[in-house]
Chains A and B, each alone.
Chain A
């Protein structure tokens, strides 16, 4: 009984059943024993009473405790039991007041089971029992007679027993009570401590939560507030003090002070919203600006009315700083506006439509290009587009071939599709369409397509023309045999069109696509030159480039002459970027040129020969005379030697004459040799002009002497010039002959050759004859080849043109001087560098 488990707490707060049970469990066996004892003594009435308690009251009590915790029920039951017992007692004849008293105390004791506190209850029970005992002692008549025990003694014994029992009961109960009380206190304390701890924990949690809330509010810039309508008090969370320009230490503002922080423009709206809520008690949401000293803060307030018992007691809600939100919204609106503007302003027409073909979005340009109105365009692609679209070749384009349809069906973007479109107004245009499928669903099927398009009618026409031109060009290029190439100077990649390979006799597979690969095909002697030319042209940023070179063919056994024409492109830094050009075979031309040159050389020679032929007679005479003299003189010498006395000095003189005459012949021969050389290949020599002139004169002075044409040589004829003597001799011969032919039948006949230093380091030689000039019409043509004023057979007409080209080849010139009264030709020959060439001994 002592130390039993702590009782269960009883929700109704009544006495714990187990304690009841414990006490009555102790009392019950006692009553049962007493009942047996009294029964043995024949005190059947007492046995009955005790037995009744044992059998009925206590079990009933226990049952009551276990089932009905209510006090009232228990009382009711006990009253019933007591009443029954009393009734029984009273009904019995042999009753005593002591029994009655006993009964009463028993009932009382039972009642006292519920006295609070417990100790009172049990103590009282004991006292009652003790009182009863003493009363028995004090008043013997109330005693009980027991058969085998002497009257009074037995009475006192049982009374003492009753007192003892009472005392024991009282004490035991008291102890039990104390123990249970202690246990109870302990339990209460523990529970209290637990509850305290729980409360503490809850409180801790609460303050943490409160802190979290404050922090969250601070982060989110949300505060919460409440307003008591009756007192006008405003309560604010700490964040509110940040949102509104109020100092936290001053506490919450009153209504008017708060109102003063609202932006004046928003004030009416703010006030009206609040008042509206006060009237209709509906939750509200509003935005306004709070004015801080240094800035404005956009604020969003959500408020609600608090109603208690149908009366509006206040408003409460949240308040958030939405400045950044407002700014973001403004920015977003601006972006949206800009995007819409851009969308509308685009030069491309933009249509967005769904799988079914309905147009969901379009811009102005689209309307304009399609010549449709806003109300027409939405349904356009569904039904009305049949017959409106055409393929590139002009045949009608079925709707499913339209790039938009293809894009949506295939899920792949369509680029640069050209579609013909005939608007309701009728003209066919070409539009360039891009279609991009978009909004793919979970199965990867596009639900929408974005179509952008531009009018490309002009450009399509141009393109068609271009293609035509291109194919014509290609045909032409192929016909002519041009090889076209493209050299990217940044990457070094050289691209050759097909004909290049034929031209360069290179296998397409073997060509490595670089400049080096090209250089390999050239004649070794041309490689360095071509490379240098390219470098120079690019270095000078020339726009065009031309060159010629030889290309190895037939594995190096032959060469082909190839010309090159190219254009060069440069980037914005001036770096060479690209060269595009074409090469073509000029072998024929080169061969022709070579043939022409050979022919010219031959002609030159022929002209020389013709010249010579003209002079042959004179030359023959010039040689023959000296020969005759030599022979004759030799004969004379022989004669003198045969007819002594020999006049040695005379003979000596005659032999000397022979030698001189032979020398004369020598000069003529020299002149002839000089003149008749093939002199084109001669190197330039530095000779005194006078030597060349004299050699020439040897050949023709006989003619002049015979015709009595006076020849005057004047000026600085001994200056050295840089020339091919044979060629200059030919020129002089040509001029002198022309001059002779012009004057030999004139009354006044002379030819003057005058040499002087001319500009540009050249020797200026004028050949003037006594003629009276040449008519302008002849002057205009006289340098032309094959033009002659002489009769047939007398002149080839090549003299002047060849002479001119000879002098030009020397870096000099030949010209006619129209300013002179007489016929005057001027030739200029570059002077030799200073300090060279002594004149030859005459």
Chain B
């Protein structure tokens, strides 16, 4: 894929594992996206209220507020149109994830290339947005 496949996109990465956040941020920035990171669901929710993201890549098992709670809140509170990708080391709650309109679930350890492609594919259909921050 080209390095600019995600230009102009705003992606949110949520994971309590710092190294993983780093890697994901690095990866998506490599595709030209603007990436924000949150360490847990509460932080992520806060960011979502303020920003419109194009895609959210989230882990499930996180302290304070786990991924499921975050997504539930997200759907309830906001009209966030972001496409949600879940990558988790925890393999249950698939049913609920589908109800929460999760695009795809990547069980850990995931293939990061596959994840990036999937995001790119999913976002490729959408129009780039004007990001006031950009």
A621 contact from B19, B24, B89, Cβ within 8 A: B89
A648 contacts the other chain (Cβ, under 8 Å)? no
* Least CB distance, B130 to chain A, in whole angstroms: 29
Q: Is the CB of B109 within 8 A of A624?
A: yes
List the B side residues contacting A621 at CB < 8 Å. Answer: 61, 88-90, 108
- Count of A-B contacts judged by CB separation below 8 Å: 70
* Least CB distance, B16 to chain A, in whole angstroms: 8
* Least CB distance, A537 to chain B, in whole angstroms: 62
Q: Is the CB of A617 within 8 A of B90?
A: yes
A673 contacts the other chain (Cβ, under 8 Å)? no
Given contacts A624-B89, A627-B108, A629-B19, contact A635 B63 (CB under 8 A): no
A628 contacts the other chain (Cβ, under 8 Å)? yes
Q: Select from chain A the residue with minimum beta-carbon distance to B89.
A: A624
A599 contacts the other chain (Cβ, under 8 Å)? no
> Which residues B98-134 have CB closer than 8 A to chain A?
107-113
Select the residue from A620, A624, A630, A631 with max chain B CB neighbours within 10 A. Answer: A624
* Least CB distance, A616 to chain B, in whole angstroms: 10
A705 contacts the other chain (Cβ, under 8 Å)? yes
B63 contact from A627, A630, A708, Cβ within 8 A: A708
B95 contacts the other chain (Cβ, under 8 Å)? no
List the A side residues contacting B107 at CB < 8 Å. Answer: 624
Q: Is the CB of A632 within 8 A of B20?
A: yes
Cα distance, A580 to B56, chains bound together (Å): 86
Q: Is the CB of B20 within 8 A of A708?
A: no
B52 contacts the other chain (Cβ, under 8 Å)? no
Cα distance, A671 to B109, chains bound together (Å): 20
Cα distance, A627 to B19, chains bound together (Å): 11
Q: Is the CB of B24 within 8 A of A632?
A: yes
Contact string, B41-71, partner A, CB cutoff 8 A, digits 1/0? 0000000000000000000011110100000
Cα distance, A627 to B110, chains bound together (Å): 8
A633 contacts the other chain (Cβ, under 8 Å)? yes
List the A side residues contacting B62 at CB < 8 Å. Answer: 706
List the B side residues contacting A708 at CB < 8 Å. Answer: 63-64
A639 contacts the other chain (Cβ, under 8 Å)? yes
Q: Select from chain B the residue with minimum beta-carbon distance to A661.
A: B19
Given contacts A632-B24, A706-B61, contact A620 B109 (CB under 8 A): no
B89 contact from A628, A631, A661, Cβ within 8 A: A628
A707 contacts the other chain (Cβ, under 8 Å)? yes
Q: Is the CB of B17 within 8 A of A639?
A: no
Q: Select from chain B the residue with minimum beta-carbon distance to A635.
A: B112
List the B side residues contacting A639 at CB < 8 Å. Answer: 30
> Which residues B1-54 have CB closer than 8 A to chain A?
16-17, 19-20, 23-24, 26-27, 30
B74 contacts the other chain (Cβ, under 8 Å)? no
Q: Select from chain B the residue with minimum beta-carbon distance to A621.
A: B89
List the B side residues contacting A627 at CB < 8 Å. Answer: 108-109
Q: Is the interface of A mostly helix, strand, loop or mixed?
A: helix
Q: Is the CB of A628 within 8 A of B113?
A: no
Q: Is the CB of B111 within 8 A of A620?
A: no
B82 contacts the other chain (Cβ, under 8 Å)? no
Q: Select from chain A the residue with minimum beta-carbon distance to B30.
A: A639
Number of interface residues of B (CB under 8 A): 27
Q: Is the CB of A706 within 8 A of B89?
A: no
A636 contacts the other chain (Cβ, under 8 Å)? yes
Cα distance, A636 to B24, chains bound together (Å): 10
B78 contacts the other chain (Cβ, under 8 Å)? no
Q: Is the CB of A657 within 8 A of B19?
A: yes
List the B side residues contacting A620 at CB < 8 Å. Answer: 89-91
List the A side residues contacting B27 at CB < 8 Å. Answer: 632, 635-636
Q: Is the CB of A628 within 8 A of B109?
A: yes
Cα distance, A453 to B118, chains bound together (Å): 118
Q: Is the CB of A629 within 8 A of B110?
A: no
- Chain A interface: which size bin? 20 to 34
B23 contact from A633, A702, A706, Cβ within 8 A: A633
List the B side residues contacting A109 at CB < 8 Å. Answer: none
List the B side residues contacting A631 at CB < 8 Å. Answer: 109-112
Q: Select from chain A the residue with minimum beta-carbon distance to B18.
A: A629
List the A side residues contacting B109 at CB < 8 Å. Answer: 624, 627-628, 630-631
List the A side residues contacting B112 at CB < 8 Å. Answer: 628, 631-632, 635
A623 contact from B87, B89, B110, Cβ within 8 A: B89
Cα distance, A622 to B20, chains bound together (Å): 13
* Least CB distance, B33 to chain A, in whole angstroms: 15
Contact string, A592-635, partner B, CB cutoff 8 A, digits 1/0? 00000000000000000000000001101111110111111101
* Least CB distance, A200 to chain B, in whole angstroms: 159
Q: Select from chain A the residue with minimum beta-carbon distance to B26.
A: A636
A629 contact from B17, B64, B91, Cβ within 8 A: B17
Q: Is the CB of A628 within 8 A of B30?
A: no
Cα distance, A706 to B22, chains bound together (Å): 20
Q: Is the CB of B20 within 8 A of A706?
A: no
* Least CB distance, A656 to chain B, in whole angstroms: 12
Q: Is the CB of A629 within 8 A of B89?
A: no
Cα distance, A632 to B107, chains bound together (Å): 13
List the B side residues contacting A623 at CB < 8 Å. Answer: 89
B20 contact from A618, A629, A705, A707, Cβ within 8 A: A629
Cα distance, A620 to B30, chains bound together (Å): 29
List the B side residues contacting A625 at CB < 8 Å. Answer: 17, 20, 89, 108
Cα distance, A56 to B24, chains bound together (Å): 213
Cα distance, A639 to B112, chains bound together (Å): 12
List the A side residues contacting B20 at CB < 8 Å. Answer: 625, 628-629, 632
Cα distance, A663 to B107, chains bound together (Å): 21
Cα distance, A13 to B50, chains bound together (Å): 202
Q: Is the CB of B63 within 8 A of A632?
A: no
Q: Select from chain A the residue with minimum beta-carbon distance to B59.
A: A625
* Least CB distance, B106 to chain A, in whole angstroms: 9
Cα distance, A69 to B73, chains bound together (Å): 196
Cα distance, A100 to B63, chains bound together (Å): 214
List the A side residues contacting B92 at CB < 8 Å. Answer: 617
Cα distance, A58 to B88, chains bound together (Å): 200
List the A side residues contacting B19 at CB < 8 Å. Answer: 629, 633, 657, 661
Given contacts A620-B89, A639-B30, A661-B19, contact A628 B108 (CB under 8 A): yes
Q: Is the CB of B64 within 8 A of A624?
A: no
* Least CB distance, A686 to chain B, in whole angstroms: 36
List the A side residues contacting B64 at CB < 8 Å. Answer: 708
Cα distance, A695 to B109, chains bound together (Å): 23
List the B side residues contacting A633 at CB < 8 Å. Answer: 19, 23
Cα distance, A395 to B23, chains bound together (Å): 113
Q: Is the CB of B63 within 8 A of A705?
A: yes
Cα distance, A620 to B19, chains bound together (Å): 18
Q: Select from chain B the residue with minimum beta-carbon distance to A620.
A: B89
Q: Select from chain B the residue with minimum beta-carbon distance to A705.
A: B63
Q: Is the CB of B63 within 8 A of A706?
A: yes
List the A side residues contacting B111 at CB < 8 Å. Answer: 631
Q: Select from chain A the residue with minimum beta-carbon distance to B112.
A: A632
* Least CB distance, A615 to chain B, in whole angstroms: 12
Cα distance, A628 to B23, chains bound together (Å): 10
> Which residues A617-671 have CB closer than 8 A to chain B?
617-618, 620-625, 627-633, 635-636, 639, 657, 661
Cα distance, A800 to B113, chains bound together (Å): 47
Cα distance, A750 to B103, chains bound together (Å): 37
Cα distance, A388 to B108, chains bound together (Å): 109
Contact string, A715-744, partner B, CB cutoff 8 A, digits 1/0? 000000000000000000000000000000
Q: Show 13 residue pairs from A and B whose CB-CB distance is below 8 angstroms, ordered by the A residue.
A: A617-B92, A618-B61, A621-B89, A624-B89, A624-B109, A625-B20, A631-B111, A632-B23, A632-B24, A633-B23, A657-B19, A702-B61, A707-B63
What are the 9 A-B residue pairs with the smallest beta carbon separation, nearest first?
A624-B89, A627-B109, A624-B108, A621-B89, A632-B23, A628-B109, A628-B108, A632-B112, A706-B63
* A residues neighboring B (CB under 8 Å): 617-618, 620-625, 627-633, 635-636, 639, 657, 661, 702, 705-708
In the complex, besides A620-B91, A629-B20, A706-B66, 18 extra interface pairs with C-beta distance below 8 angstroms are: A617-B92, A618-B61, A621-B61, A621-B88, A624-B89, A624-B107, A624-B108, A628-B17, A629-B19, A631-B111, A631-B112, A632-B20, A635-B112, A639-B30, A661-B19, A706-B16, A706-B61, A706-B62
* B residues neighboring A (CB under 8 Å): 16-17, 19-20, 23-24, 26-27, 30, 61-64, 66, 87-92, 107-113
